[in-house]
Homo-oligomer: A and B are copies of this chain.
Amino acid sequence: MLHAWFDKLRLSPMKRRVYLLFMLCFFATAYALEPGKAVVESVSEHFLFFAPFRSAEFGTFERVCLLVVLGIAVAGLLYALMLVKQVKNADQGTPKMQEIAAAVREGANAYMAAQFRKIGPLIIIITLLLYFTTQGSVAAFRYGRAGAFLVGALFSWAVGFVGMRLATTGNLRVAAAAKHSYGEAMQLGYRTGTITGMLTDGLGLLGGTTIFLLYGAQAYEALLGFGFGGTLLALFMRVGGGIYTKAADVGADLVGKIEKDIPEDDPRNAATIADNVGDNVGDCAGMAADIFESYEVTIVAAMILGMATFGHKGVLFPLLVRGIGVLGSIISTYTVKAGPNDTSDTALKSVHRGFWIGSIISVVGFFVLGWFYLRFDDAYLAANKLITAGFPGGNPANLPIWANFGVVGLDLRPAITCLIGVFLAVALNKATSYYTHTSHAPVKGLAKACTTGHATNIIEGFAVGYESTVVTLVIIASAIFLSVLVYAGTPPMFIAYGVAMAGIGMLTLTGNTISMDVFGPVADNANGIGEMGYDKDEMEAEKPGSYKRARQILADLDALGNTTKAETKGIAIGSAVIAGVSLFSSFIAVIAVGSEDKLALMTDAQYNSIQSLLTVANPRVFIGLLLGGAVPFLFSSSLIRAVGRAAYFIVKECRVQFRDAEIWSGKKKPDYGRVVDICTHTAQKELIGPGLLAICAPVAVGLLLGPFALGGFLAGTIVVGQLLAVFMANAGGAWDNAKKMIEDGVYGGKGSEAHKAAVTGDTVGDPLKDTAGPAINPLIKVMNMVSLLLLGVIIKFSLYGGSHKLVGGIVALLCVGAIVWGVLQSKKETPGLTEE
C-alpha cells in the first residue's frame, strides 16, 4: 500500500508538496519538542500497567463492573455479528438485482480503498508524530497515545467501512424481501442499520474500557489519542463522503434531468451508479464514523474530567452508563418489528417504541447503578484530594435531597445529568423534525413559497433555517444550563463533568440512533434496486399484483427511512457542542499545569487562576474568538465549492458517454466505473484543503497569539460552527421535504412552476445539508483535539509567552501558508471548466 502511495507521490507534484508541507510542519514540531524530555517532575514515574487490577484504590465491585462492561462491549459486537449472519442469509433476489447491487458495492469499496490509501500515510505520520511529541519520560505513555490514536482511527474507519459494506449487502436483501412481506423487508433494513449501531457501541465501549484497564487513573494520555484518531478519520469520511455523494447527485441531475431530460435513475446515465454509491459512502460511512467519533469523544471527555474531579468513581460511572446503554440498545433494537402487511405508520411506531424501551431501560439502569455505586465515604474522600470541592461544604452529607434522595453519602448528580442528556436528545430530535418534516408549518410554508417562484422559496428557507438554528441552540444552552445548575456551587471542573455526563446521556442510545439513521440509505438503495432490478413480467407471471405490491412496499420503506434518518440529525450536531464544551475544560486544565502529563497534580487554585485568563475581555482572546468564528465559514465555503467542481467533472464525463450512439440508444451499458472513479478521485483530492484548515488553524492561532487566544478560538468555533451547521442542515432538509411535498401533489405537483422552484431549493440545500453542514461537527472536535494534544508544545513555542519563539514562528508560518494554499486550491477554477 505504501509503495503504491510513493509511486503516486512521484507522479503528482501537487501531492508531493502537500505532504512535504505536512511533514515539515509536524517534524519541526516534533524536533522542537525535544527539550520537553528534560522535565522530570511528573506523576508518570509511578506508572503501573493494569492499575485497576493491581492498585488497592479499586475495590472488587469496581473490578467486577469493569469486566462486566468489557463483557457488554463484546456482547454488543457479538449481537452485531449475529445480525450480520441474519442479513447475509436472507434471500438475495434475482441475478439482475444482484448485478446492480454488486456495481454499487464495488464502487463503494473502491472509494473506501482509495480513501484508505490516501489517509493511511497521514495516519502513520501522525502516529509517529504523537509518539515523538508525547511529553514525559514513561515509555508506556508514548506507545499508549500513539497506539490509541491508531486504534481510534482504525475503529472509526472500520465502523464506516463495515456500515457501508453492510448497507450495500442489506439493500439487495431488503429489495428481495419486499417481494414477500413488508414486515420482513422492514426488519431486515432496520437490522442492517443496527449492525452499524452495535459496532459503534461495541467498539467505542471496548476502546474506552481497554484503555482504562491498561492505564487506570492515568488513562488521559491514551484516551486523547483514541479520541483524536476517531475524530480525524470521521472528519475525512464526512468531508470525502459528503463531497462524493453530492457531486454525484448534482452531477447526475445536471447532465441527466436538466440537460438531457431523462428520468433520475435512467440506466443510460453513466452517473447513476455513482449516485447510489454516494448514498452509501456519504450517509452510511460518513454518518456512522461521525457518530462513532461523538460517542468516543464524549466518553473521553467524561473520563478525563471524571478523573480530575470525583476520582475513579467519576471515571467508571460513565463507562458503566455506556454499558447500560449498550444493553438497552441490544434489547430495544431487537423488539423493532413489523407485520407482513403493516404500513409505514405502524412501523414508525415500532421504531419509536424501540427507542422508548431503550430509554427507559437506560434511565432506570443508571439510576439503579448510581444508587449502589455513587456512594462517597470518608475513606474515598480522603484518597481523592480534589473531590471535597465537589460537595457543598466539602461533605456529601450536605447535598440537597434531590441529589442524594435523603441517603447520606449518596450523590446521584451524575445520573441526573445523564437524564438531562436523554431529554436533550429527545428535544433535539423533536426540533429537527418540526423544522424539516412535511407535517409542520415551516415546510408547508416553504412549499407555499414555491408558488411565487425560486427566489421566494430560497428567502423563506433562509428565514426557516435561521430560526431553526436559534431554537436548537436554545435547547442545547438550556441543557448545559441545567447541568450547571445541578453542579451549582462547585468548581468549574465539576460543572464541566456535569456537562460531559449530559453528553453521555445524550448518546446513550447510539445503537438505536444509528439503526434509524442507516435504515434511511438502505431503504433508499433498496428502492433503487427494485426500480432497476425487478423483473416485472416474471414477478407478475408468478403471482399477479406482486410487482406492484413489492414496489409499493419499497416506496413506503423509503419514506419511512427518510423520516427516521431526519429525526436523528439533530443529535450529531448537538453532540459537537456538548463534547466541545467538555473538552474545553480539559483544555484549560492542561494550560493550568503546563502539559498534560502533570494533570493529576493540578490544584483547584491553579485551574481557577488559569481559567480566568481565558477572559473575552482580553483582546487576544477576543481576536481568537473572532478567528475561530471565521473557520466554519471558510470550511463551508471550501466544501461547497468542492462539490461544484467535482460535479462538473462528472457532467463532462457523462456528456462524452452520451455521445456514444450505442449508449444513448440503450444497446450498450455505459461505463459506470469511470464516473465512480472520477467521484472517488476528486472527493479524495478535495479533502486536502479542509483537512489542512482543521489541523493547521488551531496550531497557527496557538503559536501566533498564545494558548489563551487558542481557547477563545475554540469557543468561537463551537458557537459559530453550531449555528452554521444547524442552519445549513435544517434549511437543506426543509427545502428537500418541501420538494417532496409538492411532488406528492400539492401546488400543482411534478412539472409545475412551483415544482421547478422547489427543485432549485432542494439543489441549493444539497451541498449545505449533506456536505458542509454535517462536516462541521467533526471539524469542531478535530480542532479541539489538535489543540488539546499540541497544547504542551504550543505553550512552549508560542510567540506569546513561549520560550522557543523562532521554531514556533516558523511552524506558525508554515501552518498559515498551508491554510492559504488550501484556500487558493479551493478557489482555483476547475481546469476544464472553460473548455466547452
Contact = CB atoms under 8 A, between A and B. Distances in A.
Listed residue (A481, A483, A616, A827) with the most chain B CB atoms within 10 angstroms of its CB: A616
Interface in A423-474: 441, 445, 449, 452-456, 458-460, 462-464, 466-467, 469-470, 473-474
Contacts of A613: 612, 615
Contact of A760 (B454, B460, B723): B454
A647 to B, nearest CB: 9
Interface string A625-639: 111011001101100
Given A459-B767, A470-B633, A625-B719, A616 B614 contact: yes
A477 interface: yes
B452 A630 contact: no
Contacts of A123: none
A481 B760 contact: no
Interface stretch (A81-89, A185-193, A276-284, A708-716): A708-716
Interface stretch (A4-12, A401-409, A581-589, A802-810): A581-589
Interface stretch (A142-150, A231-239, A491-499): A491-499
A397 to B, nearest CB: 26
Interface residues of A, number: 83
Interface string A590-609: 00000000000000000000
B644 A473 contact: no
A477 B618 contact: no
A617 B494 CA distance: 12
Contacts of A625: 616, 715, 719
A626 B477 contact: yes
Given A470-B634, A644-B460, A719-B720, A581 B622 contact: yes
Most buried by B among A258, A463, A637, A827: A463
A623 interface: yes
Nearest to A448: B833
A381 interface: no
Given A463-B640, A720-B723, A611 B619 contact: no
A504 interface: no
Contacts of A254: 452-453
A344 interface: no
Contacts of A581: 619, 622
A618 B495 CA distance: 9
A611 B495 CA distance: 21
A469 B633 contact: yes
A544 to B, nearest CB: 43
Contact of A615 (B615, B722, B727): B615
A480 interface: yes
A827 to B, nearest CB: 8
B715 A470 contact: no
A763 B462 CA distance: 13
A618 B760 contact: no
A637 B472 CA distance: 14
Contact of A622 (B473, B480, B623): B480
Given A470-B630, A634-B467, A640-B466, A617 B720 contact: no
Interface string A482-515: 0110000000100110010000000000000000
Given A616-B614, A644-B459, A473 B623 contact: no
Contacts of A78: none
A641 interface: yes
Nearest to A487: B619
B619 A495 contact: yes
A619 B760 contact: no
A764 interface: yes
B627 A473 contact: yes
A166 B761 CA distance: 42
B763 A616 contact: no
24 contacts: A254-B453, A258-B453, A459-B643, A459-B764, A460-B644, A462-B640, A462-B764, A462-B768, A463-B640, A466-B634, A466-B636, A470-B634, A473-B629, A480-B622, A492-B618, A584-B616, A585-B617, A612-B615, A614-B616, A616-B711, A616-B712, A629-B723, A719-B719, A720-B723
What 6 pairs across the A-B complex have the smallest Cβ distances? A612-B612, A455-B763, A466-B637, A611-B617, A454-B760, A616-B715
Interface of A: 254, 258, 441, 445, 449, 452-456, 458-460, 462-464, 466-467, 469-470, 473-474, 476-477, 480-481, 483-484, 492, 495-496, 499, 577, 581, 584-585, 588, 611-623, 625-627, 629-630, 633-634, 636-637, 640-641, 643-644, 705, 711-712, 715-716, 719-720, 722-723, 727, 759-761, 763-764, 767-768, 823, 827, 829
Given A470-B630, A588-B617, 15 more contacts: A258-B453, A449-B644, A459-B640, A466-B633, A466-B640, A470-B634, A476-B626, A480-B626, A484-B619, A616-B616, A616-B621, A616-B711, A629-B720, A633-B723, A633-B727
